[in-house]
């Protein structure tokens, strides 16, 4: 029983970290319909900025997160204006080629600017220890990641489903010319959503840095996992992404505990089964 509980907690924490990092990608892929392979690159930029802010500028954890997320979103604005705007609605292959190109550029720049070694984001005293749950200890940071995941999920759901901006975004996505004719400034809506998605990527990169350490190849190393989480959840669906991440976290963690020598066999087996049963993901928004 203890073991089961223990695995459940690990699964929840891992799934939430996965969710925080992947949800931004779900927004770009599902709502804006851009296959954004540079998502990992943006998450990495966020991680680097936070690491720089804490280690070199001596800022605290909270202000560092804020600065890094905002700065990454600001970096994303000209990139969206100059590059991404050209590929909205373009064939997937074009999108893939351009975004993977951006990824390689970012890897090269990060390697040049920060060097090839690992960068850490020092945690504040309150988050760095572990909490004794009675039957086991868990890193305080994991609890923090779980809470962050819940807040992000709730906030984003509210933004998209319950605000005027969310309505405009959904309208612009479903039928851009019609939305524009009705007075929605679609380009602005796209720019803001893109910045939000990138900000989420950066946030995920920072919060997840304890599990997925920041180094130049971060941008490519974990991209497959993020893409899997999004496609299982159904691109664009927040509840879908949440369920998918928790499910994948559970399968991965259990598999790793019971039979680590099988590697990621169970993880990908589950992916195959789910994609076969739900080709659009668990809660795909688009047909």
Partner 1 sequence: MKKFLATAIATLALSVSAQAATIKVGVVGPFSGPFALQGKNFKAGIDAYMAVNGAKVGDNDVEIIYRDVPQADPAQSKALAQELIVKEGVQYLAGFYFTPDAMAATPILQQGNVPMVVMNAATSAIVTKSPYVVRTSFTTWQTSTPIAQVAKDAGVDKVITVVSDYGPGVDAENAFKAGFEKAGGKVVEAIRMPLSTNDFSPIMQRIKDSGAGAVFAFLPSGPTTLGFVKAYNQNGLKTAGIKIFAPGDLTQESDLPALGESAAGMQTTFHYAVSHDSPENKAFVEAASKAIGNPAELSFPAVGAYDGMHVIYKMIEATGGKQDAKKAVDAVKGLSWTSPRGPVSIDAESRHITQNIYLREVTKGAEGKYFNKEIKTFERQGDPGLAAAK
Residues that bind partner 1 (CB under 8 A): 3, 6-7, 10, 13-14, 111, 115-120, 130, 132, 136-139, 141-142, 210-213, 215-218, 221-222, 225, 252-254, 256-257, 260-261, 263-264
| CA atoms of 122 and 97, how far apart (whole Å) | 35
Q: State the nearest-atom distance from the C-beta of 235 to partner 1, in Å.
A: 23
Nearer to partner 1, 14 or 194 (CB): 14
Say if residues 193 and 185 touch (Cβ distance below 8 Å). Answer: no
Nearer to partner 1, 109 or 167 (CB): 109
Q: State the nearest-atom distance from the C-beta of 116 to partner 1, in Å.
A: 4
Nearer to partner 1, 84 or 218 (CB): 218
Nearer to partner 1, 142 or 285 (CB): 142
Nearer to partner 1, 106 or 195 (CB): 106
Q: State the nearest-atom distance from the C-beta of 268 to partner 1, in Å.
A: 11
Q: State the nearest-atom distance from the C-beta of 42 to partner 1, in Å.
A: 18
Q: State the nearest-atom distance from the C-beta of 62 to partner 1, in Å.
A: 21
Nearer to partner 1, 54 or 186 (CB): 54
Sign for the pseudo-dihedral over CA of 208, 209, 210, 216: positive
Residue whose C-alpha is closest to residue 76's, from 104, 41, 108: 41
Q: State the nearest-atom distance from the C-beta of 173 to partner 1, in Å.
A: 32
Q: State the nearest-atom distance from the C-beta of 140 to partner 1, in Å.
A: 8
Residue whose C-alpha is closest to residue 227's, from 268, 182, 183, 176: 268
Nearer to partner 1, 137 or 269 (CB): 137
DSSP state string for the chain = -HHHHHHHHHHHHHHHHHHHHHHHHHIIIIIS----TTHHHHHHHHHHHHHHHHHTS---HHHHHHHHHHHHHHHHHHHHHHTGGGGTTS-HHHHHHHHHHHHHHHHHHHHHHH-SS-B--PPPHHHHSEEE-SS-EEEHHHHHHHHHHHHHHHHHHHHHHHSHHHHHHHHHHH-HHHHHHTT--HHHHHHHHHHHHHHHHHHHHHHGGGTS-B-TTHHHHTHHHHHHHHHHH-TT-HHHHHHHHHHHHHHHHHHHHH-GGGTTHHHHHHHHHHHHH-TT-TT----
Q: State the nearest-atom distance from the C-beta of 254 to partner 1, in Å.
A: 8
Nearer to partner 1, 70 or 100 (CB): 100
């Amino acid at each position: 029983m203890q073991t089961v509980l223990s695995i459940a907690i690990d699964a929840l924490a891992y799934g939430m970290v996965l969710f925080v990092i992947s949800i931004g990608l779900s927004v770009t892929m599902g709502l804006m319909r851009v296959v954004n392979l540079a998502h990992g690159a943006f998450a990495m930029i966020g991680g680097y900025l936070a690491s720089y802010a804490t280690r070199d500028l001596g800022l605290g954890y909270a202000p560092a997160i804020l600065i890094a997320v905002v700065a990454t979103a600001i970096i994303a604005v000209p990139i969206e204006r100059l590059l991404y705007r050209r590929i909205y609605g373009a064939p997937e292959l074009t999108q893939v080629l351009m975004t993977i190109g951006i990824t390689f550029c970012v890897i090269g720049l990060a390697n040049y600017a920060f060097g090839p070694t690992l960068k850490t984001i020092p945690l504040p005293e309150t988050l760095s220890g572990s909490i004794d749950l009675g039957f086991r200890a868990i890193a305080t940071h994991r609890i923090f990641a779980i809470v962050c995941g819940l807040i992000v999920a709730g906030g984003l759901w509210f933004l998209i489903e319950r605000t005027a901006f969310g309505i405009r975004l959904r309208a612009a996505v479903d039928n851009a010319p019609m939305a524009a004719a009705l007075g929605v400034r679609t380009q602005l809506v796209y720019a803001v959503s893109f910045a939000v998605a990138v900000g989420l990527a950066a946030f995920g990169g920072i919060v997840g840095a304890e599990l997925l350490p920041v180094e130049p190849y971060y941008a490519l190393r974990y991209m497959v996992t993020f893409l899997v989480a999004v496609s299982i959840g159904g691109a664009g669906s927040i509840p879908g992404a949440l369920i998918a991440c928790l499910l994948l976290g559970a399968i991965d963690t259990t598999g790793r505990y019971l039979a680590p020598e099988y590697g990621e066999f169970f993880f990908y087996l589950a992916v195959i089964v789910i994609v076969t049963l739900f080709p659009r993901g668990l809660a795909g928004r688009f047909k």
